[in-house]
Amino acid sequence: MLLTGSPRPSVRILLVEDDPALANSVSRALQSQGYEVDLTNKGEPVAYSLQSGPYDLLVLDVGLPGIDGFEVLRRVRSQGSSVPALILTARDAVEDRVRGLDLGADDYMTKPFALPELLARIRALSRRKQTNVEAKLVHGPLVLDTVARRAWLKDKPLDVSGREWAVLAFLMNRVEKVVSKDQIVQAIAGWEELSDNAVEVYVSRLRNKLDPAGIKIRTVRGFGYMLEDVADAR
């Protein structure tokens, strides 16, 4: 018997689990409570999926083929995403729990678990996200809404693609810090391969859109890129 709850409308969850039986069971349980659920059994595309889609919660298994859940979570946090993350794992060692929390997990459940407890924890994380007021990144006249995945420049909507958004969010979380092309690739690569040349293209497009407002993305030769502080860009 499942616990009943009242999640807010259109709470969207990305469920990452490679055990088909468990994935289907959890997915059905979440849907029965009114959540929207997208399901994947691979970790590689997760970071990009979170940038291109407005997810409210990540439920992440550790034991995935390819890159494991810990590496997925590292990439998600390195790209600047603050989406609440609940880790599911068969590993019950204290060291593993500490590692997950240090990487940015908001909660941690070991397998096997009871579905009612999982649903209760998801409701708690959903409520926590709704009360989070740090939903916007502000850099001078540039504003990024990390929940709605929208951007404004001088109070006007800024048209950016999903990949441009990901690059810009990554840089805005690291103002005055030099980041390499490889760091950007690792942070935002998802379903498709992403090359250094592609990063150059996205940065060039962003410059064309941001330069007129005095926002500068500087190339640090031999190292990468840096989003300058607005005061320095004048």
The DSSP result for 196-226, as a single string, is: HHHHHHHHHHHHHHHGGGT--EEEETTTEEE
Return the structure tokens found at 211.
């330069």
pLDDT at 48: 81
Contact, 167 vs 199, CB < 8 A? yes
Domain co-membership, 114 together with 219: no
Mean pLDDT in residue range 52-57: 80
Boundary-marking domain end, from 115, 130, 145: 130
Contact, 170 vs 225, CB < 8 A? no
Question: Rounded to an integer, what distance in angstroms lies between the CA atom of residue 119 and that of residue 122?
Answer: 5
1 within a domain of the structure (yes/no): no
Domain co-membership, 103 together with 194: no
Q: What percent of the chain has pLDDT over 70?
A: 86
What CATH number does residue 56 fall under?
3.40.50.2300
84 within a domain of the structure (yes/no): yes
CA dihedral 181, 184, 64, 127 (to 10 degrees): 170
177 within a domain of the structure (yes/no): yes
Mean pLDDT in residue range 212-216: 94
Mean pLDDT in residue range 50-64: 86
Q: Is the pLDDT of residue 133 over 60?
A: no
Boundary-marking domain end, from 130, 152, 181: 130
| Exposure letters 139-175 (e unless 16+ CB within 10 A, then b) | bbbbbbebeebebebeeeebebeebbbbbbbbbbbbe
pLDDT in tens, 171-205: 998 899 999 988 888 776 654 566 778 899 999 99
Q: What percent of the chain has pLDDT over 90?
A: 41
pLDDT in tens, 73-131: 998 888 778 889 999 988 877 888 888 888 889 898 989 889 999 999 998 888 766 55
Return the H-helix or E-strand segment holding 108: strand 107-110
pTM of the shown model: 0.56
- How many domains is the chain partitioned into structurally? 2
Domain co-membership, 22 together with 112: yes
pLDDT at 184: 84
Domain co-membership, 115 together with 31: yes
Domain co-membership, 89 together with 192: no
pLDDT in tens, 142-179: 998 876 677 899 889 999 887 888 889 889 988 999 99
Domain co-membership, 184 together with 225: yes
Domain co-membership, 163 together with 112: no
Domain co-membership, 97 together with 75: yes
- Domain extent at residue 163: 136-233
pLDDT at 232: 52
pLDDT band at 8 (very low <50, low <70, confident <90, very high): very low
Mean pLDDT in residue range 28-35: 91
